[in-house]
Structure 1
Amino acid sequence: MLETGTPQHDKPDWAAIVIVILSVTAFAVAQGLTFPLISLTLEAREIGGSLIGLNAAAYAAGAVLCVLTIHRLTTRFRGNHLVVAALFGSALSLLAFATITWLPVWFVARFTVGFCASLISILSGAWLNIATPDCLRGRISGLYGAGMCAGFAAGPLAIPIFGTANGSGFAWASGYVALISLACAVFNANTRTVPEAAPSGGLTAFIIAAPILVLMELVFGFADIAAISGMAVYFVRVGHSEAFAAYAITVLSLPTAFAQPVVGWLLDKFSRAGVTIGCGLSGALAFLIIPFLQSQTALLLIFALIGIATFALNTCALTILGERFKGGMLIAGTASFSLSYSVGSAMGSTGTGFLLDRISTSAVPASVGLGLLAFTVLAVFRRRDLESFVKVTNQ
């Protein structure tokens, strides 16, 4: 019999946990590959920059539509079936990129990938918390974060292997995601839990009930995209090579994947609010110190710390969400996380571009560091909100 609540304290639903980690890793691999590969492929076909940008916007539109329709979807279909369906949908969309060159189809496929990826992200985060007892919540959330980071880092590695000319990179990703969807369908037979339906109006209710968690995810999105996009340009403009800038992005991702289980262990052993504040402060100081560093080794070490600390905010938010909320409000929470991350990432990409062009190069790390510091100060004053939410259930 499937359960929609949290399992007993000592009985994690390992089949569900495996599905969640496999699915989010597959989503991350697909997203990490398609974002650069689609741009490079369209550029090679001499498609204008505005159309390339609009194609990326189609992904965002699909993700937003998923957030807005999550109540209807989870009311009509079981959450565990939706995860498998979203994986299959992603695989078919990736196959379309590999086999069809007509640009309108690429817009439809990009929109579908965005919708399916957002659905996987929302449902997997909620299901993870339903399937995991609180004594293991931080560590399992850390493994979840590690899978996501590893997927984002591994996806782009397919580009130099398969190239951009014949669609083989998309075909490889499609086959991989399809295999993961089949594996998840098999594991579904052994799960004891299933995500509940999101309550009507749950998104607004969650934002009102837990604004600090929503802000945490927005700050994570802002810092994450600023580090990936804005800081790469920053390094080149202050005199480092393009190769160093690219290597810095790799250093940002890989240590982050290995560190998230450690962050999860800290969340299980110490104050979760304290770990959140420590991660925010570490990320802020790391960004603020960058303009004063000249050594490339020191810069890479600090950049690794930035990746670990900023992504840890996501791990903290997911862990606290599962501790404080139950039932359908978990879906509402992860949906609000998806939306706030999208807003934060848009702020990070546009904001750093504005600072680079209109203010100064050093304003990029300084502004992100100050933003993280402001969040950390707020978290200190709102510490009780991180530790003492009133538990909200889906009645």
Structure 2
Amino acid sequence: MEVKSVAMEVGTTVVVKPIVPDVAAIITAITGVTAFAAAQGLTYPLISLVMERRGVPPTISGLNSGAYAMGLAVSTFTVGRLTQVLRGDYLIVLSLIGCACCLALFASFDPLWLWFVARFALGFFASIIFVLSETWLNTACPNSLRGRVSGIYGMGLCGGFAAGPLAITFFGTNDGLAFASLSGYVTLVAFVTFLLGRYARTHPHRGATGEVLKFLGKAPLLIIMVSTFAFADVAAISTMPIYFVRIGHSATFAAASVTALALPTALVQPAIGWLLDRTSRFAVASCSSFVAGASYLAIPFMSSELGILSAFGVMGAANFALYTCALTMLGDRFSGGSLVAGSAAFTLAYATGCAAGSSITASAMELIAPVAGPIAAGIILLTFTCVTIVDAFVRRNNKT
């Protein structure tokens, strides 16, 4: 099949952009990131539960989570150099195999120090999958379809994260079967990714070393958008269940809130992608942050459990739409090696936002009152809404 594309000059480099989608590449990227999300969705609760059962102090458990975040951060600064050594699609396959090996280590060995090494390596490999899948996705689709493709990508990411913990339900936490089952699944995805990649017409671009920090100055609003999403997202996953229990709801309700968050978030993303292709992408981002922020602020004033879960689901869908918007606008504005740097910068921004979201909302609940947790997250989202509106006015005035 003949590849239809259009060439554009970026600096001194000619970058070929497709005008028809590379379906094989898009499917491969979404499959890989879904596996990454499932691994992340499993390890976050399962490792904490296993350590709690073994009597590991919460501080040590928290440091183990920090090892994963450290792996994410280190990977963002090395992925550009790695793409100079090996083609991006091969790196995705090797990273999937690396994730499978880390999960197998959790299933087979008990020494705590080894779990720290495996958690760091899991973050390192997962970050490579995340960065290069985003890059490949934006390389493989034309701008006219970019929003819808990003929406499907977001649905896979959310769906994988929600499906990962199901392994705990089926296999429990005692004998490592949950880790082993997911290790086998990720290995299978690596094999499928390798086969699908052979039919792809495009490949992830090579990145340049030292470009991640430079990118932060090229697209500060996109970086802030991803950080805001991460702040509110981790607050929803880690802080809000605690908030629900502290204001008198049952632990079952707190657990159900995560499901109520994940399902609509995954299902709504294709519709968000459609809006991104049909309307102003900055307008979608502004409306999404406003709806998410208003939903966060409304939850403390609700008494009906059904109403709370409904508002929580709306908040999750609108908040994740910020990431779908950022991913779409990244591919719209950048190409070539800048896509690799941008995706790596997004990962770094996500890690930073997560760290801030979990610490600030948890501290607000401890120092002020439980209600301060959702209010803090809502204020952050509404502040970002104001930032996007001001930015739109500035850009309009500059054009005139």
Bucket of the pairwise TM-score, normalised by the shorter protein? over 0.9
Contact 1:286 1:303 in 2 (8 A): yes
The answer on 1:116 being equivalent to 2:125 is: yes
The CA deviation at 1:388 is: 12
* Correspondence list, 1:10-159, <5 A: 11-159=20-168
**Aligned match of 1:211:** 220
Quick check: 1:285 aligned with 2:286? no
Q: Name the CA distance, whole Å, in 2 between partners of 1:60 and 1:246.
A: 24
Q: Distance in 1 between matches of 2:264 and 2:391?
A: 30
Scaled by the length of structure 2, what TM-score is found?
Answer: 0.94
Counterpart in the other structure of 2:8: none
SS at match of 1:198: coil
Using the alignment, how far apart are the partners of 1:8 and 1:57 within structure 2? Answer: 39
1:59-108 C-alpha deviation (Å, 9 max, x unpaired): 11111110111221111111111111100100111111111122222111
The CA RMSD over aligned residues, in Å, is 1.9
Q: Does 1:383 align with 2:379?
A: no
**Structure 1 gaps, min length 5:** 390-395
> What is the letter of the counterpart of residue 269 of structure 1?
R
- Summarize deviations over 1:333-373 as a string: whole Å, max 9, x none: 11111001111111111111111110111111111111111
Tell me how far apart the structure 2 counterparts of residues 383 and 325 of structure 1 sit (CA, whole Å).
20
TM-score normalized by the length of structure 1: 0.95
Give the whole-Å Cα distance in 1 for the aligned partners of 2:21 and 2:394: 27
In the alignment, which residue of structure 2 is the partner of 1:329? 338
Q: Which runs of 4+ in 1 moved over 3 A?
A: 1-7, 384-389
Whole-angstrom CA distance in 1 between matches of 2:373 and 2:170: 33
What amino acid sits opposite 1:221 in the alignment?
A: A
Is the counterpart of residue 178 in structure 1 residue 187 in structure 2? yes
Gaps of 5+ in 2: 6-13
User: Separation in 2 of the partners of 1:244 and 1:31?
Assistant: 23
Match of 2:262 in 1: 253
Cα distance in 2, alignment partners of residues 294 and 301 from structure 1 = 12
Moved more, 50-59 or 284-293: 50-59
Say whether 1:295 aligns with 2:321: no
Identity of aligned residues (%): 46
Shift of 1:385: 8.2
1:8 to 2:18 alignment: yes
Structure 1 residue 163 and structure 2 residue 201: aligned?
no
CA contact (8 A) 1:222 1:345 kept: yes
Match of 1:393 in 2: none
Equivalenced residue count is 388
Alpha-carbon separation, structure 1, partners of 2:24 and 2:256: 36
Residues 269, 321 of structure 2: 8 Å contact kept? yes
Do the aligned partners of 1:37 and 1:159 also contact (CA within 8 Å) in 2? yes
Name the residue aligned to 2:202: 193
- 2:335 matched to 1:315? no
Paired residue secondary structure (1:175): helix
CA distance in 2: counterparts of 1:24 and 1:5, whole angstroms: 25
Asked if the contact 1:142–1:263 (Cα under 8 Å) also holds between the matched residues in 2, the reply is yes
**Structure 1 counterpart of 2:247, which letter?**
V
3-state SS, counterpart of residue 192 of structure 1? coil
How far residue 6 of structure 1 moved from its aligned partner, in angstroms, is 5.0
Indicate the SS of the match to 2:235: helix
> Structure 1 stretch 225-234 or stretch 250-259: which is displaced more?
225-234
Give the 3 Å change call, closer, same or farther, for CA 254–385 of structure 1 in structure 2: farther
Q: Supply the distance in 1 between the matched residues of 2:373 and 2:74 (Cα, whole angstroms).
A: 31
Structure 1: which amino acid aligns with 2:245? V
For residues 110 and 364 of structure 1, the distance between their equivalents in structure 2, rounded to whole angstroms, comes to 28
Residue of structure 2 equivalent to 1:271: 280
Q: Secondary structure at the match of 2:207?
A: coil
**Distance in 2, Cα, partners of 1:385 & 1:146:** 33
Q: 1:155 to 1:90 in 2, by over 3 A?
A: same
1:7–1:13 contact (8 Å) kept in structure 2: no
1:295, 1:341 → 2: CA distance? Answer: 32
CA distance in 2, matches of 1:237, 1:180: 40
Residue identity in the other structure for 1:267: L
- Distance in 2 of aligned mates of 1:190 and 1:7: 18
1:166-206 deviation digits (Å, cap 9, x = unpaired) = 10000100000000000000011111111122223321221
Partners of 2:75 and 2:365 in 1: how far apart? Answer: 33
d(CA) in 1 for partners of 2:396 and 2:359? 33
> What is the aligned partner in structure 2 of residue 392 from structure 1?
none
| Pick aligned residue for 2:372 from 360, 363, 369 | 363
